[in-house]
Amino acid sequence: MLYTIYESQRSLMEPFADLAQAAAKFYSNPLSPLSETPLAQRLSAGYDLMHRLGKDYEKPEFGIRTVDVDGVSCAIHERIEIDKPFCELRRFKRFSDDPDTLLKLKVQPVVLIVAPLSGHYATLLRDTVRSMLQGHKVYITDWKNARTVPMSEGDFHLDDYVNYVQEFIRHLQEKYGNCHVMSVCQPTVPVLAAVSLMASRGETTPLSMTMMGGPIDARRSPTAVNNLASKRSYSWFENNVIYRVPSNFPGAGRRVYPGFMQHMGFVAMNPDRHATSHYDYFRDLIQGAGASAEAHRKFYDEYNAVLDMDAHYYLETIKTVFQDYSLVNGTWDVRAPSGELQRVRPQDITTTALLTVEGELDDISGCGQTEAAQGLCSGIPPERRTHYEVKGAGHYGIFSGRRWRTHVYTQVRDFILANQPSQPAAAARVQRARSA
């Protein structure tokens, strides 16, 4: 019922948001006789802010057109490699006319970035993808909004998430021989499960795992997110945050944790910060600070775009990760597509190198939660396990922004290269091209 009420309110607000946008453009139009007056500037800024607060935010695009590879600009083409009911495996293919660069691209490591399914779209990792493209072949899990998935596709469980990751890893292994896996935030848990299950079955596991800011052991340095999940019962979440998708969406009738409720939760964590940010945006518009205003728009275009999660997946994540701590307690059984249950045993991983990354000021996954993977993966030799704490970084700072680009990326890049098998023939071709 709440979802239907929300959609009705949003539909009613939409014309007013459009009207506010038109008014903002009218008062800022240089052809308008009022545009140069202080009052017009304030009216335009106010209507613009009203529009942004009332509009509906669609899924953003990655929008990565080119990337610089050692001083050479390479064109980027996005394409869907595998299309699953709840996820697309998206590839960012690089193109270059420079022979030396082309040979270099062919021998660079293959990385599967597993994006969070926790409210925002995979485009939240745009900065991560852009940096990784400088020296890697990049694939990413682009999760679908559950309200767009018809009921005929069935439900989506946490076990399905783990199985998707395994399928994507096997696809890249078949195509390239092997790959590296990088997980950011929520997927650290299912990725560790996926690789553990592959190791237990004797399958080839990825060359390396990079785990960043995730709740491997949510008991350590608990945050507001952890406390909410642990103090409320499973039935409370089921009765208070799960609703059915209204009839005007393809997934009508599906039980979901709605994106708009997640967004309210995001904002409620730091309401003062968001209020200040919107006020600063209003002042920037009045003062003509175009760069600052555009930075605000870009951030909130991403931050306000949220997706619904299938209820089964969401509730099972709450119970498995934040209430039963099944991974660290060694009690997590995952059901394979064949129907077989298998225990998750991270200690069975022996040939995959491990890098864990945490932000010193992370208020979503507290310090020590991700590092817990180091102890769980006891089968990996100590010299192939590394932990890196990013000083002064919060949750988003470890995968986006200045600290990511100048500190974290270099650590991830060097770690992957250190665990990438040498390819003498390919390297020789690159060297010959350079000396030609």
Q: How does pLDDT run across 305-353, given as a tens digit for each residue?
A: 999 999 999 999 999 999 999 999 999 999 999 999 999 999 999 999 9
pLDDT per residue over 140-188, tens digit each? 999 999 999 999 999 999 999 999 999 999 999 999 999 999 999 999 9
Give me the pLDDT at residue 423, please. Answer: 65
Name residue 312's amino acid: H
pLDDT per residue over 21-41, tens digit each? 898 888 888 777 666 677 888
Average pLDDT over residues 423-432: 47
Give me the pLDDT at residue 166, please. Answer: 98
- Identify the residue with better confidence: 213 or 289: 213
Q: Is the pLDDT of residue 425 over 50?
A: no
Average pLDDT over residues 272-279: 90
- Identify the residue with better confidence: 213 or 230: 213
Burial (CB count <10 Å: 0-12, 13-18, 19+), residue 411: middle
Q: How far is it, in rounded angstroms, from Cα 353 to Cα 387?
A: 11
Q: Is the pLDDT of residue 102 over 50?
A: yes
Across the chain, mean pLDDT equals 91
Average pLDDT over residues 127-136: 96
Angle at 394 (CA atoms; ends 306, 218), nearest 5 degrees: 80
- Identify the residue with better confidence: 70 or 422: 70
Percentage of residues of the chain with pLDDT beyond 90: 71
Look at residues 401, 347, 341, 393 and name the one whose alpha carbon lies nearest to residue 373: 347
- Identify the residue with better confidence: 388 or 225: 388
pLDDT band at 379 (very low <50, low <70, confident <90, very high): very high
Q: How far is it, in rounded angstroms, from Cα 417 to Cα 164?
A: 26
Q: How far is it, in rounded angstroms, from Cα 205 to Cα 209?
A: 10
* Domains of the chain, earliest start first: 2-56+269-303 (no CATH), 66-95+110-238+308-419 (3.40.50.1820)
Q: Is the pLDDT of residue 1 over 80?
A: no
Give me the pLDDT at residue 424, please. Answer: 53
pLDDT per residue over 404-421, tens digit each? 999 999 999 999 999 999
Residue spans of beta strands (DSSP E) within 126-174:
137-143
